Chains A and B, each alone.
Chain A
Amino acid sequence: MKLTINDVTHDFEADPEMPLLWVLRDILDIKGPKFGCGVAACGACTVLVDGVPVRSCSEPVGYVEGAITTIEGLADGDKLHAVQEAWLAHQVPQCGYCQSGQIMAAVALLDEVLQPTDADIDGAMTNLCRCGTYPKIRAAIKDAAQNLEG
């Protein structure tokens, strides 16, 4: 099978039923997307497929069509994506385990909506965070929106 991940083409063998998450983590050793629930309920495994957020734990790899971006592919060399910068500026992460998925969901939101309202954020940011970092995620998204616009 063949997939383009973070602009690199990967050739590999896998059961087409295997969820994309386990192909990324166990076969291709891309560890940014995390395993949280296995049923698309928490979003820790969120990656972008052609810019659309996908919960990779429940997406059989055989069905995946399009270029994949994981958290590892967001930065441009040492230069972080505006969302990552905002996450650092607000010191969002606590345990950090859900944050790869949160950041990917936020990147997808800001691609769709330049200046998201609170309701936009509530609607798009459905990933679970057990550390309860939601107020900081919200503030960071708004800041990132400003910075992307400017």
Chain B
Amino acid sequence: MGRIAKYTRRTFLGIGAVAAGGFAVGYYYYRKPYENPLEAALAEGETTFNLFVKIAADNTITIIAPRAEMGQGIQTTLAALVAEELDVTPSDVVVEHGPASPAYLNQAMLRMGGPFPWFDESFGAGALRGTMGVVSKFLGLQVTGGSSATIDAFQKMREAGCVAREMLKAAAAERWGVSAGSLQTADGVVTNPANGETLTYGALAAQAALLNPPSDLELRPRSEWKLLGKPVDRVEGREKVTGGRIFGIDVQLPDMLHATVKMSPRFGVGAKSVDINPALQVPGVIDVQEIKTNTGQGFGIIAENTWAAFQGAEALDVIWEDAPYPLDDAGMGALFDAALADGEAFELGGSGDVETVFAEAEPDDILEVDYKVPFLAHATMEPMNATAQFRDGKLELWLGTQAPGISQMVAASLLGIETEDVTVHTTHLGGGFGRRGEADFPLYAAALAAKTDGRPVKVTWTREEDTRHDVYRPRVEAKMRAVIRDGEAVALDIRSAAPAIMPSVIGRTFPSFPAPPDDEPILDGLFNQPLGIANRRYQGVVVDLPIPVGFWRSVGNSQNGYFHEAFMDEMAEKAGRDPLEFRLSLLQAPEHAPAKAVLEKVGEMSGWGTPGPDGTAKGIAHMLSFGTWVAQVVQLRDEDGAIRIEKVWCAADPGEVLDPRNFEAQMISGINFGLSQALGQKITFADGEVQEGNFYDFDAMRMWQSPEIEVAILETAPKMGGAGEPGTPPALPALANAIYALTGERIRTAPLSDTVTFV
């Protein structure tokens, strides 16, 4: 293997473009580029051009797509970004997730998360987005989440393809003694059109990598795109229809042991006493080990096969410590009541003078109601699992994770080794939805791998363990108030109470980090919605309840979409106006134009305003989340007293769409995920333990319940938004509003199936 040229000019990666307003300390470190982690692990004859491109002498071209593929199609779209500039076809190249490295940080994710509306282009909002990006560089977060992956990659991965292509052309030009500008590239080959001579990228790679990268990059304009903006088949499609061994649970290693865990069903405590003998007597069970981590305490049952481990876990006789929090839903409810009544609140956004408007309002003009949603599990199809091997002081992990760097850090810290001594192999994920960014499943695998004398161990959770040890979408309760005078909305006042997500995540993952003072997810999807009401106030109150909570597809928007948009329907009704017309009247500001456009579009698609067939009714909702503006209309049919969700129309505007077919699939997926919440999903507590355990008591939408879905994509918004999450928030309120239209019943508590019967 030849000398590998160090890539000297890495600011092309776009990292340097982030303004570091007010963040002078550590500026040098911030500008210092990361090492290219591919350099450490090149195969014979392989050359790397940058973080995203490897080319071998045999012309095998590898694109690194360093984001978790959990169904959202990200690896295909990321590969297409590089391929568009590199002039290769995604199906002809190898697409790999690549190593865990801070060089693959996701700056867009943190930049998108600040306490400013997406359409706020003020100096304050820009500076804060910049600062969040800088923080992400310090933390080196290689995370897939927040529907941010394409936004983060859009510039830097096209640049990576462009740089490699230009260096390959320069190498060919050197060999042929012609100017690089006269050469052409296509399908992994450089051609000299003057004489028809060709050289493959593989034949040029080693030489090309020694050249200086170009200093001026000219990315291809949209009009010249061959791949982007068009449907690209999934690079892993064939594996997914042939039973490919691509998931964490499919990992098979020589001499591998199988294990499962039985963790305390009460959060934050461990075992009072245990008898491990009944477990050890199960044929095939080899060992039982105690596990103590920041994320949970309990036991690992190590066996010859997964079935034996599961039986061992069932046989294990443990008495757990008592729960240090209210034991059931009613007891927890008292905390919510107190928080809503007089808990200390933080405020985000808002305008005008809500207090005065309410004080001076006629009682008849005031609308005041309460909304509630329960804790929810993620219920990914693939239960949590990870495989670990610990030998010679080094740990290897194989797992489907949304955060390989976090897995690496927490496992290293548990075993008392350096982060560099942990190698993470990121597999495909059998669903993520926010669950697989957590540290618990790699931690337990690492803990058990330390007890198996160097043998690898695959730790697979049962479905029950998965459901009862999730990081839940929080239970949330909100007081919604509005003043409606003469058919116009004058004031909106929302006070919402929930256990805080950020302190929960940070507390169990990085206990030494300070938790943020408030919790933006409680109000995300409320304060940052486009809405032209003069007087608005958004208050969040943190409920001190130590049930682990986390990121659940669309996070705060998952409940706030329901609260905001179902209440918007109530406001429209009080104003005596049509729900669509009422919404449009509140979206007159120029920066709200995309909301208006998607609402008008979905109205047109669904025939809003014209009565549908007998026994049917429609509801509408709009939400801006993760930078994408989404309006939906749900149509219901009364089938002998049961409600069928018959059809959903969706108009979405993400500004710019890189793969329209995949974007549509993500909208459909998000809608069905959002509607599933209505159909019976709730996590409840008794004796401090989660009561639900498997799909018979925590289910999701099935084929016979699934509606026909029609999606229209608009591209009018000024900034690129995400795809994975924004389809979810409007689905539940559009459904609730349709139920009101069908039955006259306002449902303000999820799941809606507690009040009405669905097909």
B-binding residues in A (CB < 8 A): 15, 18-19, 22, 25-27, 29, 31-39, 41-42, 44, 70-72, 74-75, 80, 84, 87-88, 91-100, 103, 121-123, 125-138
Q: In this assembly, does B307 line the interface, its C-beta being within 8 Å of a C-beta of chain A?
A: yes
Given contacts A72-B242, A94-B71, A98-B381, contact A132 B307 (CB under 8 A): no
Q: How far is the CA of A74 from the CA of B242 in the complex (A)?
A: 8
A-B contact pairs, 12 of them (CB 8 A): A25-B306, A31-B245, A35-B382, A39-B694, A42-B695, A93-B241, A122-B704, A128-B695, A129-B381, A131-B71, A132-B671, A137-B703
B248: shortest Cβ distance to chain A, in Å? 10
Q: How far is the CA of A122 from the CA of B71 in the complex (A)?
A: 23
Q: List chain B residues, Cβ under 8 A from A96.
A: 71, 236, 239-240, 246, 428, 430
Selected from B237, B245, B379, B694, the residue in CB contact (under 8 A) with A88 is B237
Q: In this assembly, does B125 line the interface, its C-beta being within 8 Å of a C-beta of chain A?
A: no
B730: shortest Cβ distance to chain A, in Å? 15
- For the complex of A and B, 7 pairs with smallest distance between CB atoms: A32-B243, A132-B672, A97-B430, A95-B71, A94-B71, A96-B240, A71-B243
A36 near B305: Cβ-Cβ < 8 Å: no
Main secondary structure of the interface of A (DSSP, over half): loop
B71 near A135: Cβ-Cβ < 8 Å: no
Q: How far is the CA of A19 from the CA of B311 in the complex (A)?
A: 12
Selected from A39, A75, A95, the residue in CB contact (under 8 A) with B381 is A95
Q: Which of B105-113, B139-147, B603-611, B661-669 is found at the contact surface with chain A?
A: B661-669
B665: shortest Cβ distance to chain A, in Å? 7
Q: List chain B residues, Cβ under 8 A from A121.
A: 703
Q: List chain B residues, Cβ under 8 A from A135.
A: 668, 706, 708-709
A95 near B430: Cβ-Cβ < 8 Å: yes
A-binding residues in B (CB < 8 A): 69-73, 231, 233-234, 236-243, 245-247, 249-250, 252, 258, 283-284, 305-307, 310, 379-383, 428-433, 460, 462-463, 661-662, 665, 668-673, 676, 694-696, 699-704, 706, 708-709
Selected from B381, B665, B669, B709, the residue in CB contact (under 8 A) with A42 is B381
Main secondary structure of the interface of B (DSSP, over half): loop
B242 near A36: Cβ-Cβ < 8 Å: no
Q: List chain A residues, Cβ under 8 A from B665.
A: 91, 94, 133, 136
Residue from B242, B460, B670 having most chain A Cβ neighbours under 10 A: B242
| Residue of A whose beta carbon sits closest to that of B70 | A95
Q: List chain B residues, Cβ under 8 A from A75.
A: 242
Q: How far is the CA of A118 from the CA of B670 in the complex (A)?
A: 23
Q: List chain B residues, Cβ under 8 A from A127.
A: 703
A88 near B283: Cβ-Cβ < 8 Å: no
| Residue of B whose beta carbon sits closest to that of A21 | B307
B706 near A35: Cβ-Cβ < 8 Å: no
B426: shortest Cβ distance to chain A, in Å? 14
| Residue of B whose beta carbon sits closest to that of A93 | B240
Q: List chain B residues, Cβ under 8 A from A18.
A: 305, 307
Given contacts A93-B237, A96-B236, A97-B431, contact A132 B247 (CB under 8 A): no
Q: List chain A residues, Cβ under 8 A from B284.
A: 15
Residue from A93, A103, A131 having most chain B Cβ neighbours under 10 A: A131
B606: shortest Cβ distance to chain A, in Å? 17
Q: List chain B residues, Cβ under 8 A from A92.
A: 241
B236 near A128: Cβ-Cβ < 8 Å: no
- Knowing that A36-B382, A126-B702 touch, tell me 4 more A-B residue pairs with CB under 8 angstroms: A35-B383, A41-B699, A95-B71, A97-B431
Given contacts A72-B243, A97-B382, contact A131 B431 (CB under 8 A): yes
Residue from A22, A27, A71 having most chain B Cβ neighbours under 10 A: A22
A113: shortest Cβ distance to chain B, in Å? 15
Q: List chain A residues, Cβ under 8 A from B432.
A: 95
B627: shortest Cβ distance to chain A, in Å? 21
| Residue of A whose beta carbon sits closest to that of B710 | A135
Selected from A88, A129, A136, the residue in CB contact (under 8 A) with B238 is A88
Q: How far is the CA of A96 from the CA of B662 in the complex (A)?
A: 14
| Residue of B whose beta carbon sits closest to that of A87 | B241
Residue from B233, B237, B673 having most chain A Cβ neighbours under 10 A: B237
| Residue of B whose beta carbon sits closest to that of A105 | B703
A132 near B673: Cβ-Cβ < 8 Å: yes
Q: List chain A residues, Cβ under 8 A from B246.
A: 96
| Residue of A whose beta carbon sits closest to that of B385 | A35
Q: How far is the CA of A36 from the CA of B694 in the complex (A)?
A: 10
Q: How far is the CA of A41 from the CA of B433 in the complex (A)?
A: 21
Q: List chain B residues, Cβ under 8 A from A99.
A: 240-241
A117: shortest Cβ distance to chain B, in Å? 13
Q: List chain A residues, Cβ under 8 A from B700.
A: 128, 130
| Residue of A whose beta carbon sits closest to that of B464 | A38
B695 near A29: Cβ-Cβ < 8 Å: no
Residue from A25, A126, A135 having most chain B Cβ neighbours under 10 A: A135
Q: List chain B residues, Cβ under 8 A from A74.
A: 242
| Residue of B whose beta carbon sits closest to that of A81 | B241
B307 near A35: Cβ-Cβ < 8 Å: no
A34 near B381: Cβ-Cβ < 8 Å: yes
A91 near B243: Cβ-Cβ < 8 Å: no
B500: shortest Cβ distance to chain A, in Å? 26
Selected from B307, B661, B669, the residue in CB contact (under 8 A) with A19 is B307
Q: How far is the CA of A11 from the CA of B661 in the complex (A)?
A: 46
Q: List chain B residues, Cβ under 8 A from A22.
A: 305-307
A31 near B243: Cβ-Cβ < 8 Å: yes
Q: How far is the CA of A39 from the CA of B466 in the complex (A)?
A: 14
A36 near B463: Cβ-Cβ < 8 Å: yes
Selected from A25, A39, A95, A122, the residue in CB contact (under 8 A) with B463 is A39
A138: shortest Cβ distance to chain B, in Å? 7
| Residue of A whose beta carbon sits closest to that of B250 | A31
Q: List chain B residues, Cβ under 8 A from A35.
A: 249, 306, 382-383, 460
B681: shortest Cβ distance to chain A, in Å? 11
Q: List chain A residues, Cβ under 8 A from B704.
A: 122-123, 126
A94 near B669: Cβ-Cβ < 8 Å: yes
Q: How far is the CA of A32 from the CA of B242 in the complex (A)?
A: 7
Residue from A39, A97, A127 having most chain B Cβ neighbours under 10 A: A97
A38 near B669: Cβ-Cβ < 8 Å: no
Q: How far is the CA of A42 from the CA of B462 in the complex (A)?
A: 13
A80 near B241: Cβ-Cβ < 8 Å: yes
Q: List chain B residues, Cβ under 8 A from A136.
A: 665, 668
B708 near A41: Cβ-Cβ < 8 Å: no
B706 near A134: Cβ-Cβ < 8 Å: yes
Q: List chain B residues, Cβ under 8 A from A19.
A: 307
Selected from A42, A91, A122, A134, the residue in CB contact (under 8 A) with B233 is A91
Q: How far is the CA of A41 from the CA of B669 in the complex (A)?
A: 21
B240 near A39: Cβ-Cβ < 8 Å: no
| Residue of A whose beta carbon sits closest to that of B674 | A132
Q: How far is the CA of A95 from the CA of B709 in the complex (A)?
A: 20
Q: How far is the CA of A126 from the CA of B661 in the complex (A)?
A: 26
Q: How far is the CA of A132 from the CA of B727 in the complex (A)?
A: 12
Q: How far is the CA of A74 from the CA of B68 in the complex (A)?
A: 28
Q: List chain A residues, Cβ under 8 A from B238.
A: 88
Q: How far is the CA of A41 from the CA of B463 in the complex (A)?
A: 11
Q: How far is the CA of A25 from the CA of B305 in the complex (A)?
A: 9
| Residue of B whose beta carbon sits closest to that of A92 | B241
B247 near A34: Cβ-Cβ < 8 Å: yes
Given contacts A94-B665, A95-B431, contact A132 B381 (CB under 8 A): no
B241 near A84: Cβ-Cβ < 8 Å: yes
A52: shortest Cβ distance to chain B, in Å? 19
Selected from B239, B379, B429, the residue in CB contact (under 8 A) with A95 is B429
A20: shortest Cβ distance to chain B, in Å? 10
Q: List chain B residues, Cβ under 8 A from A26.
A: 258, 305-307
B431 near A37: Cβ-Cβ < 8 Å: no
Residue from A42, A95, A137 having most chain B Cβ neighbours under 10 A: A95
Q: How far is the CA of A125 from the CA of B701 in the complex (A)?
A: 12
Q: List chain A residues, Cβ under 8 A from B662.
A: 91
Residue from B243, B695, B709 having most chain A Cβ neighbours under 10 A: B243
A41: shortest Cβ distance to chain B, in Å? 4
Q: How far is the CA of A71 from the CA of B447 in the complex (A)?
A: 34
